């Protein structure tokens, strides 16, 4: 029932959920997207680079090439190594191809100091799609996308209204049948629901045309 009721809400984000055997979509099957409120693109790049870089003008094609080169050089264990950032209304959008750094707790808390950050990671290989919402160094709400009933943070229920609108089951399953039903409901819908939730919070839907925007690109420096 929840799946049928929310199909229309999730449809704009299905492009982020293409299976690997169908090509994975333009961002493939490992990537993160973060939304920053209170910073400009150059400052977002500086934060990812620990103050070492303010970014260079680029586009998604060049960003993807740089990330691909980094992955090949490092065997993929350190993410994509680069981020591309552009302005979208009152928010900045940061794309991290092949990466997951922005949803690591120790990273997002530092990135969010003095601002607001919402980040979503798709990671098919680790099977740990993630959502983090942090303000001024504190994680407000976070959860693994396939487990919306296991929320954490200083205010884990803050986004519950939006989550319920998207058909997420917020109560922990109580028996094996309920666990099976929750897994089936969340398995294929987790990533679109995560990005739909991001759009509800930020007012910025992450759409395919955004990949065509000019952006500032810079390195991700480990903290």
Query: Can you read off the two tokens belonging to residue 204?
Result: 């910025």
Q: Which residues contact 19 (CB under 8 A, 6 or more apart)?
A: 29
The whole domain housing 100 covers 2-219
Helix (H) and strand (E) counts in the chain: 7, 8
Distance, CA of 156 to CA of 159 (rounded, Å): 8
Lookup result for tokens 């993160």: 32
Percent of the chain with pLDDT over 90: 88
Which range (54-58, 86-90, 128-132, 184-188) has the least confidence? 184-188
User: Which of 223, 181, 194, 67 lies closest to 128 in space, CA to CA?
Assistant: 194
Distance, CA of 149 to CA of 152 (rounded, Å): 10
Tally the residues of the chain: 223
Q: The whole model's pTM is what?
A: 0.95
Distances (CA, A) of 4 to 19, 34, 62: 21, 28, 39
pLDDT tens per residue, range 24-50: 999 999 999 999 999 999 999 999 999
How much is the average pLDDT of 106-124? 97
Q: DSSP letters of 27-55?
A: TTTEEEEEEEES--HHHHHHHHTTTS---
pLDDT value of residue 142: 98
Distance, CA of 186 to CA of 194 (rounded, Å): 11
pLDDT at position 1 over 60:
no
pLDDT value of residue 5: 53
pLDDT tens per residue, range 162-206: 999 999 999 999 999 998 999 898 989 999 999 999 999 999 999
Percent of the chain with pLDDT over 70: 97
Q: DSSP letters of 59-103?
A: -HHHHHHHHHHHHHHHTTTT---EEEEEEETTEEEEEEET--GGG
Q: DSSP assignment, residue 152?
A: B
Which range (20-34, 80-94, 135-149, 178-192) has the least confidence? 178-192
| More confident of the two residues 126 and 99 | 99
101 within 8 A of 89, measured Cβ to Cβ:
no
Count of the separate structural domains present in the chain: 1
pLDDT value of residue 128: 84
pLDDT tens per residue, range 153-166: 999 999 999 999 99
């Amino acid at each position: 029932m929840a799946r049928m009721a929310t199909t229309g809400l999730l449809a704009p984000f299905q492009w982020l959920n293409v299976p690997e055997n169908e090509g994975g979509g333009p961002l493939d099957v490992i990537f993160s997207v973060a939304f920053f409120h209170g910073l400009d693109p150059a400052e977002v790049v500086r934060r990812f680079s620990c103050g070492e870089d303010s970014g260079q003008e680029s586009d998604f094609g060049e960003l993807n090439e740089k990330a691909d080169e980094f992955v090949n050089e490092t065997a993929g264990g350190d993410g994509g190594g680069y981020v591309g950032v552009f302005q979208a209304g009152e928010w900045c959008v940061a794309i991290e191809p092949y990466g997951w750094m922005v949803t690591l707790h120790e990273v997002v808390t530092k990135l969010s100091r003095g601002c607001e950050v919402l980040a979503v990671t798709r990671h098919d290989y680790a099977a740990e799609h993630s959502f983090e919402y942090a303000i001024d160094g504190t994680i407000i709400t976070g959860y693994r996308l396939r487990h919306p009933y296991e929320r954490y943070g200083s205010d884990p229920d803050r986004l519950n209204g939006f989550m319920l609108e998207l058909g997420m089951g917020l109560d922990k399953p109580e028996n094996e049948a309920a666990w099976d039903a929750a897994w089936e409901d969340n398995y294929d819908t987790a990533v679109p629901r995560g990005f739909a939730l991001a759009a509800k919070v930020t007012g910025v839907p992450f759409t395919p045309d955004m990949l065509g925007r000019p952006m500032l690109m810079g390195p991700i420096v480990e903290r």
